[in-house]
Chains A and B, each alone.
Chain A
């Protein structure tokens, strides 16, 4: 999850998010270098003692500052397109989970074998236990096996919502009557938080998402327990 006064992206928990994180670093570095150069040039032009500043021309510099930006754009575009196609690769999921958005909670359905479904409401602030995170915790988490390709089908039962988990690099709109597919692999065990990302009414800010990634054995135990409780 995000920590106080965080500026950058959350630590990646999936291979795709790792790629996005590195690309972001790369693009931001280019942006910072260009901005620093431009700021330096502005300051030096404004503070120069030279008086004859307004009749200047040079073919060479014009060529340089045409070719160089084009090269920089290519340096940004190539990794960007690489990641775009990487995200679009055909994957062979081991598990399908449906995330249905409601006003104002998510419900998760695991129906590959049995019909397991449960709701996931935010824990109200007054019911939090020390150590839990305000406006992020839920009563039931979406538990997934780690290191397995997971397919999540996102939809909604009433209005538009959006299912997002930044640490996994996932965001998918929940549209009533439509089934949107997204996929990820969780590289490490842990608990990953997200929040509804499409305005959906009064409690839009209070329907978080919690994904808990555990080894496969624990996932199987959890799903048996959940089926018994249902």
Chain B
């Protein structure tokens, strides 16, 4: 599975169409991938596994989310103020 993800990441151009978010409003697309990256990291590192499969989510949220939003959320996570469930 890790190879499959690596292959996908190697050929990454930009965030592909996500059928869960087919409409104009992509706010949730960005936020969901940000959450999924952190949840994936937490879940895999808790189990002592490699977190490279989580890189996909990171590439997607980096493509979609404005840099200011990511900086703000990263700061909140560091301070322990992040509202999302990670």
**A residues at B contact (CB < 8 Å):** 90-96, 98, 100, 109, 111-112, 115, 117, 151, 153, 155, 157, 172, 177-182
Contact = CB atoms under 8 A, between A and B. Distances in A.
Contact of B27 (A109, A117, A177): A177
Interface string B44-80: 0000000000000001001111111000000000000
A94 B13 contact: yes
Given A96-B15, A179-B30, A111 B68 contact: no
B14 A93 contact: yes
Given A112-B14, A151-B14, A179 B66 contact: yes
A95 to B, nearest CB: 6
A45 B59 CA distance: 70
Interface string B8-40: 000011111100001011110110000000000
A94 B64 CA distance: 13
B25 A180 contact: yes
A65 B68 CA distance: 59
A126 to B, nearest CB: 31
Contact of A182 (B15, B24, B29): B24
B13 A95 contact: yes
A181 B24 contact: yes
A6 to B, nearest CB: 30
A90 B63 CA distance: 18
Most buried by A among B14, B16, B30, B68: B14
B31 to A, nearest CB: 9
B66 A92 contact: no
A204 B67 CA distance: 24
8 contacts: A92-B17, A93-B13, A96-B63, A111-B63, A115-B67, A117-B67, A153-B66, A179-B30
A179 B64 contact: yes
Contacts of B24: 172, 180-182
